[in-house]
Amino acid sequence: MQNKDLQKSTFYFKYGKRIFDIIMSLIGLIILSPFLVVIVLSIKLFDKSSVFYKQDRVGQNFEHFQLIKFRTMKVSGSNSGPLITTSNDERITKIGKVLRKFKLDEMPQIFNVLKGELSVVGSRPEVEKFVNLFKEDYKEILKVKPGMASEAVIVFRDEERILTQFNDLEEAYIKEVLPKKISIDKDYVRNISFLRDCRIFLLTFLRVIYFRR
């Protein structure tokens, strides 16, 4: 990257990215509010469980925060079993399967963005166990806030298909998937720009709406 490009990227990182996050998350919250209400009522009516699920994740500069999602697993199963799940996991509820298919369970993370814990675009936040396995890499990646949308997630849109080929999901994720995601995330951190964030956001939207296997 040339010095001029680096200066532009640094300016966007310091000032523009937070403005981008606030504007996009507020617009998203206004547009998605009716869907949020329907999902909340559906979970309460059909699953009769708590609506939200919070999980500890590692954020910028290794600071921990509570990632918010709509609950998609049975209460008894959300705190047990492997950290990596696939669509045929018996712990997932009927409503949860629908939410996961269209990534609707991720919508409450808008509030993480507004709180300043996430960005709209960035690396996906990982649990401490996985971060500790690749700590040197995450020293670079976590200079930037993790995000709701991620280039690595777009590339690994068929992640579940890859993982189901292995008996041990966590081992497969650690050895086959996570190192490649880390490589993509490091490239993102080194080359942050407004246009790249817009492209990743748009591709993520298209992936959720149109690209279903």
CA atoms within 13 A on the CB side of 44: 7
Mean pLDDT of 115-122: 96
The angle subtended at Cα 77 by Cα 76 and Cα 78, nearest 5°, is: 105
% the chain with pLDDT above 90? 59
> Into how many domains does the chain fold?
1
Percent of the chain having pLDDT more than 70?
89
Which residue range(s) make up the domain with 12? 3-210
Query: Tell me, what's the pLDDT at 2?
Result: 46
What are residue 65's DSSP bridge partners? Answer: 57
Which pLDDT score is estimated for 47?
Answer: 80
Q: What is the pLDDT of residue 6?
A: 45
Closest CA to 53 of 35, 30, 76: 76
Assign 210 a pLDDT band (cuts: 50, 70, 90): low
Distance CA 103, CA 133 (A): 27
Higher pLDDT, 18 or 87: 18
pLDDT digits (tens, 9 = 90+) for 3-53: 454 455 677 887 889 999 999 999 999 999 999 999 999 998 888 778 999
Token output for 2: 């040339």
Per-residue confidence (pLDDT) for residue 91, from 0 to 100:
84
Which element (helix H / strand E) includes 148? strand 147-149
CB 142 within 8 A of CB 208: no
Res. 213: pLDDT tops 50: no
CB 130 within 8 A of CB 178: yes
Structural tokens at position 56: 């500890």
Q: What is the pTM of this model?
A: 0.86
One-character DSSP codes across 9-61: HHHIIIIIHHHHHHHHHHHHHHHHHHHHHHHHHHIIIII-S-SEEEEEEE-GG
